[in-house]
Amino acid sequence: MFLSLRELELKKIPFALEIPPGTIEFADELTQASPIAVKGEAELVSDVLGEIRVSGKLRVTMEAPCDRCVEPATLPIETDFDLTYRPDESGEPVGEVHVSEGESEIGFYSGDGLELDDILLEQIVLALPMQKVCSPGCKGICPSCGQNRNFANCACESKPLVVKQFAAALQSLKK
């Protein structure tokens, strides 16, 4: 959905959308596993400055390979956003500059408006957890034999190594 500056000069633009998977292109390892439910509004804050405020709430389920075992991890995302965009007159690449100003973030746009999809893409990526795991207790892949330890216990002895490393870490702490 395009948020046109000309339309915003006349009135606020409310939006309530369900965006099916495939509409927004995510990076390779990310899959959109549910429609994006988004609700909010866009308004022109200042006519003179051309400042556009976009605020709302979004909900989506994403999927990414688990950091530990590489099986698909389900990542439910629910986030609020309140963003301000200014016309880009600096000539710097759009989207590269981000200044935090109090509560809301300032972004830049060029041309005659903003693409809501681009904003959603950015907000979803920002809301992803640092640790993407299929479950908090994921046992990961065995470093010796490469077997997924969630499915089967391998016979590899990895314990002594861990204990050794732990002992070494303790030793270095004592020094």
Count of positions (residues) in the chain: 175
Measured from the CB atom, is 77 or 134 closer to Zn ion? 134
Cβ at position 169, least distance to Zn ion in Å: 23
The CA–CA distances, whole Å, from 33 to 16, 61, 92, 125 equal 19, 5, 34, 14
Q: Does 144 sit near Zn ion (CB under 5 A)?
A: yes
Measured from the CB atom, is 68 or 86 closer to Zn ion? 68
Cβ at position 157, least distance to Zn ion in Å: 9
Token pair 């590899």 in the structure block, residue: 156
Measured from the CB atom, is 23 or 144 closer to Zn ion? 144
Token pair for 47: 């006519």
Q: How far apart are the first and last CA of the chain?
A: 61
The residue range among 21-29, 91-99, 119-127, 145-153 that interacts with Zn ion, by the rule CB under 5 A, is 145-153
Backbone angles phi, psi at 116, to 5 degrees: -60, -35
| Coil/strand/helix, residue 35 | coil
- Where in 85-114 is the site for Zn ion (CB under 5 A)? none
Cβ burial, residue 105 (10 Å; 0-12/13-18/19+): middle
- Where in 2-61 is the site for Zn ion (CB under 5 A)? none
Q: Does 161 sit near Zn ion (CB under 5 A)?
A: no
Backbone angles phi, psi at 166, to 5 degrees: -65, -45
Measured from the CB atom, is 74 or 104 closer to Zn ion? 74
Q: How many residues bind Zn ion (CB under 5 A)?
A: 10
Q: Does 142 sit near Zn ion (CB under 5 A)?
A: yes
Sites of contact with Zn ion (CB under 5 A): 66, 68-69, 134, 138, 142, 144-145, 154, 156
